[in-house]
Chains A and B, each alone.
Chain A
Amino acid sequence: MSPKHSDKNTNEYRRKFLAQSAAVAGLAIAPGIVLNQVAHAKADADKVTGSTRWGMLIDTNKCSKGCTDCVTACSDENGWGGTNSSETHSSKEQQAQWIRKVTITDKQTGHVQSLPLMCQHCETAPCVDVCPTGASMKRKDGIVLVDKHICIGCRYCMMACPYKARSFIHEKLELQKNNAPRGIGTVESCTMCTHRVDKGNDPACVEACSKAEHGAMIFGDLKDANSAISIELKKHGGEQIRADLGLNTGVRYQGL
């Protein structure tokens, strides 16, 4: 073999080697690039800013006593309660309830009221304060959520919540909704339907209340002075449940 021929072979070999290396490197990097793009994709949640504070106003005088449309809508939307037939092992006390209808009777006057109760999305949420890992957290727009990836299931947030708004998942669940993953051994509660709110829609409970023509629930931005909720609050006011705790809840009630 002449030296020239050998050089040619070597060059060809080098070219092939480089091309193959590049292909391998490309294959190796590609998923990373894709994942990076996924990670940096502009999700709806990225639009969340502190210039908004989502809130809800519930008029107990309009809330119909026998009606549970808001509860059913939440259950359908998020796959808990009657909607999820896989939560069979848990007792009634163990089954999750993100929202419930509460009947209150004044001990003095006998006056009866009915209202939906769920996570009150406190500004200074006790559940967020006590969570050791930060899984219990508040979005910039005031919605209080549980990060299912780092919740260790210690249930301290459930001890701390004054509204009993949280549930612990006591068994493996099937039939989950994409928008509401429900992992065994973690804690969950009302998300104010972030998946709907981030797309510009009302939470499922509010929509159901409107559909039933009760109109007892208003959803909106508490920081926007021109929003329906702000105008109504300014005009007629709205109370917090356990206002003595000074939590500045995002959910307010009229007629309490």
Chain B
Amino acid sequence: MKKPVLKQIDGNSINYWMLLALLGSFVLAAVGAHFYMEHGGHYVTGMNNQIVWGLPHVFAVFLIVAASGALNVASIASVFGKTAYKPLAPLSTLVAIALLSGGLMVLVLDLGRPDRLIVAMTIYNFKSIFAWNMIFYNGFFLIVGIYAWTMLQRNLNKYSRIAGFSAFIWRLALTTGTGSIFGFLVARQAYDAAIMGPMFVVMSFSFGLAIFLLILLATYKWTDRPLGDATFIRLKNLLGVFVAGVLYFVVAQHLTNLYATEHHGVEAFILRDGGIYTQLFWYGQIIMGGLIPLALIYHPTTGKSRTAISIASLLIVLGGMIQMYVIIIGGQAYPLELFPGKEVTSSFFDGVVNSYNPTFAEGILGVGGFAVALFMVAFAVKVLNFLPESLADEAVDPHHSK
């Protein structure tokens, strides 16, 4: 097979600059939202002492999880030696770094004291999974950055396999760590489950690849570069497997909980009685984010249509965000089980389903995370050689060139 030629995009069109301007304005709006929230305090948000993590965390955790998943394509190329994925590996690393940057920006800007970030970077409590994650996140930038470098600089190519392998192990640890933020919470009925770590890994595969596929399809369409069916069909089939994988983990999680009487309350809340959370779970997460994309991906007609697969990918992203919302917000909305078998009331909202009304500022901050990620990708493909000039079938399929 010929070595793929990586070439930066021209990026001279008005549309390109308009895209950068649009993304840039979303980033600025997010920074504005941050100052608005930090100026007087978090009272301007919908978050409170019951729902302590809100919409910004939904966006942040989604982006961080998706970042790890966006590295899939590179991992498949380097770790599992699938040559067809090799031309896409540099872009995969770029999207991974960009999504993590966006996610972390949102997470940091929502802190009560973001000015003390240096404290979080220098003082570690090693029993805290949060502290581990700081190391995982910073290490991810370093390792994936080195990995990208070994692929982009020709005389370092020989190191790309070992760098790719390190990045693969690191990303698995990172996503397990992110899932464990919830898995390690013994206090809350909706969390405290070992399945959270592995489930987040599979969620990352699905969300990350969906975003990667959307970026790939858009970029190749907008730059008029050839993208053959060989690459496209491979990626969308893989996406289908990942979506099914997420559904499998969700079924396993809820079935396990349904078996144990102590979890019946929280399961009834999410699956049946939780109002908005129940609706989001069934209509948003399962049907819109799981079943419809699966049908679009595997249906003989829609499975070949790039428009249909783009819609499927978009639905997976939206369904993934909703899944995060149900996990993070729904999990907190369900009251703490302080006195099993007893009804509890107090002035501090004990025993009641907690309410949360996200504000516009929180949403803008979260969307800003996406904007940062997409801005980074759009800018980087113009200044560095991340994108293969051609992904036409004969350029990527070994059987065409052999």
Give A contacts to B, CB under 8 Å: 89-91, 93-97, 100-108, 117, 126, 128-134, 150-156, 158-164, 166-172, 183-187, 241-242, 245, 256
Contacts and interface: CB of A to CB of B under 8 A. Distances in A.
Contacts of A164: 49-50, 336, 338, 348, 350
Contact of B48 (A91, A131, A132, A152): A91
A155 B53 contact: yes
Given A132-B128, A153-B113, A107 B346 contact: no
A97 B348 CA distance: 7
Contacts of A106: 341-342
Given A107-B341, A168-B52, 7 more contacts: A93-B355, A97-B347, A126-B185, A131-B125, A159-B332, A169-B112, A185-B38
Q: Which of A89, A106, A134, A152 has the most CB of B within 10 A?
A: A152
B338 A153 contact: no
A108 B341 CA distance: 8
Contacts of A256: 339
Contacts of A160: 185-187
Given A102-B345, A105-B342, A155 B125 contact: no
A159 B41 contact: no
Contacts of A117: 338, 346, 350
Given A129-B128, A152-B113, A163 B338 contact: yes
A241 B339 contact: yes
A94 B113 contact: no
A90 B112 CA distance: 15
A156 B187 CA distance: 12
A184 B41 contact: yes
Contact of B184 (A95, A107, A130, A151): A130
Interface in B328-343: 332, 336-339, 341-343
10 contacts: A100-B347, A100-B350, A102-B338, A105-B344, A106-B341, A126-B186, A132-B131, A150-B123, A185-B112, A186-B113
Contacts of B338: 102, 117, 162-164, 241-242
Interface string B339-383: 101111111111000110000000000000000000000000000
Given A154-B112, A185-B41, A133 B123 contact: yes
B187 A134 contact: no
Interface stretch (B114-122, B139-147, B202-210, B308-316): B114-122
A164 B50 CA distance: 8
A172 B128 contact: no
Nearest to B331: A159
A153 B43 contact: no
B345 A134 contact: no
Q: Determine the main DSSP class of B at the interface with A.
A: loop
A164 B48 CA distance: 12
B2 interface: no
B402 to A, nearest CB: 52
Contacts of A187: 112
Quick one: which of A91, A94, A101 has the most chain B CB within 10 A?
A94
Given A160-B185, A168-B49, A90 B43 contact: yes
B134 interface: yes
A171 B349 CA distance: 20
Contacts of A158: 49, 52
Nearest to A129: B127
B149 interface: no
Contacts of A170: 41-43, 48
A80 to B, nearest CB: 12
A181 B114 CA distance: 19
A21 to B, nearest CB: 37
B249 interface: no
Contacts of A107: 341-343
A158 B336 CA distance: 12
A135 to B, nearest CB: 8
Contacts of A161: 187
Given A130-B128, A245-B186, A159 B53 contact: yes
A169 B131 CA distance: 23
A151 B113 CA distance: 8
Nearest to A81: B347
B194 to A, nearest CB: 16
Contact of B134 (A132, A153, A169): A132
A132 B344 contact: no
Q: By CB atoms of chain B within 10 A, which of A91, A100, A104, A187 has the most?
A: A104
Contacts of A134: 123-125
Contacts of A171: 40-43
B6 interface: no
Most buried by B among A159, A171, A256: A159
B215 interface: no
A130 B332 contact: no
B130 A130 contact: yes
A104 B343 CA distance: 5
Interface in B81-102: none
B128 A131 contact: yes
A133 B130 CA distance: 9
A132 B348 contact: no
Contact of B187 (A108, A159, A183): A159
A185 B119 contact: no
Nearest to B118: A152
Interface in B35-81: 38, 40-44, 47-53
A94 B38 CA distance: 15
B227 to A, nearest CB: 42
A93 B343 contact: no
B40 A89 contact: yes
A31 to B, nearest CB: 25
Contacts of B186: 126, 160, 162, 245
